[in-house]
């Protein structure tokens, strides 16, 4: 590479990293937190004995999993204004990503709850716990350990998917890279640098996943 290209890499690194710090990571964290809460509600609805409650959750999950994330994002940001509901870029992105995470993570959480042996429920009932208390103190802590790997993968995918928010004018890592590439005309160089930053973030998240699994291992019934 030429000296000018090296200088471009050096000068563009911080703007791209700062885009991740102030844009990508907060967007992913907010969307994942909201989406995970929604997913827990949907998972419990799917496990409900009431057919209509389970049916609502099943329909939601099917709709989310059966449509592209980009379409969901465009429906919120570009579609809602056509019916008089104007949503700013950041809330629109968080809403779309949360809806998407909720649909995918709900099945992960449901499967994790079902993986807990039925004997754990029976033991909780025998010591006088209600179903809600048993779920909170006995079942969910064990299900959490099982769900960490797939939920971590969902979060890592979400971090990368936040690049789609650049299409709705949200300033994050990839949009910063687009601006720098358009100005410098060094598209391959700048986009490879952005890809490297995404990769480093995902490596850090994978390391965090391992630590969480270790901490939650004590809740697993052996």
Residues 98-135 have pLDDT tens digits of 999 999 999 999 999 998 888 888 788 888 887 788 88
Residues 58-87 have pLDDT tens digits of 999 999 999 999 999 999 999 999 999 989
d(C-alpha 203, C-alpha 103), whole Å: 25
d(C-alpha 155, C-alpha 28), whole Å: 8
CB neighbour class for 80 (10 Å; exposed up to 12, middle 13-18, buried from 19): middle
Least confident of 27-31, 99-103, 145-149: 145-149
Mean pLDDT over residues 138-150, rounded? Answer: 86
**Which residue did the predictor score with more confidence, 2 or 24?**
24
- Residue 220 scores a pLDDT above 70: no
d(C-alpha 51, C-alpha 45), whole Å: 9
What is the reported pTM? Answer: 0.89
- Residue 217 scores a pLDDT above 80: no
Residues 159-171 have pLDDT tens digits of 999 999 999 889 8
d(C-alpha 101, C-alpha 11), whole Å: 35
Burial 134-173 (b: 16+ CB within 10 A, else e): bbeebbbebbbbbbbebbbebbbbbbbbbbbbbbbebbbb
- CATH number belonging to domain 3-219: 1.10.3720.10
């Amino acid at each position: 590479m030429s000296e000018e290209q090296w200088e471009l890499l050096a000068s563009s690194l911080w703007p791209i990293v700062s885009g991740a710090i102030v844009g990508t990571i907060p967007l992913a964290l907010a969307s994942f937190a909201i989406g995970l809460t929604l997913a827990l509600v949907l998972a419990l609805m799917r496990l409900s004995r009431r057919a209509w409650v389970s049916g609502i959750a099943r329909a939601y999950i099917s709709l989310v999993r059966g449509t592209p994330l980009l379409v969901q994002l465009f429906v919120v940001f570009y579609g809602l204004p056509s019916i008089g509901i104007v949503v700013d870029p950041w809330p629109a992105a968080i809403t779309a990503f949360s809806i998407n995470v909720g649909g995918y993570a709900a099945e992960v959480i449901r499967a994790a709850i079902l993986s807990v042996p039925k004997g754990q429920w029976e033991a909780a009932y025998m010591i006088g716990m209600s179903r809600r208390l048993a779920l909170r103190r006995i079942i969910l802590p064990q299900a959490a350990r099982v769900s960490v790997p797939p939920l971590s993968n969902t979060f890592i995918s979400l971090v990368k998917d936040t690049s789609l928010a650049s299409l709705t004018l949200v300033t994050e890592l990839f949009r910063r890279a687009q601006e720098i590439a358009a100005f410098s005309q060094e598209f391959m160089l700048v986009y490879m640098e952005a890809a490297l930053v995404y990769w480093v973030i995902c490596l850090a998240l994978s390391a965090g996943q391992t630590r969480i699994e270790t901490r939650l291992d004590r809740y697993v019934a052996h």
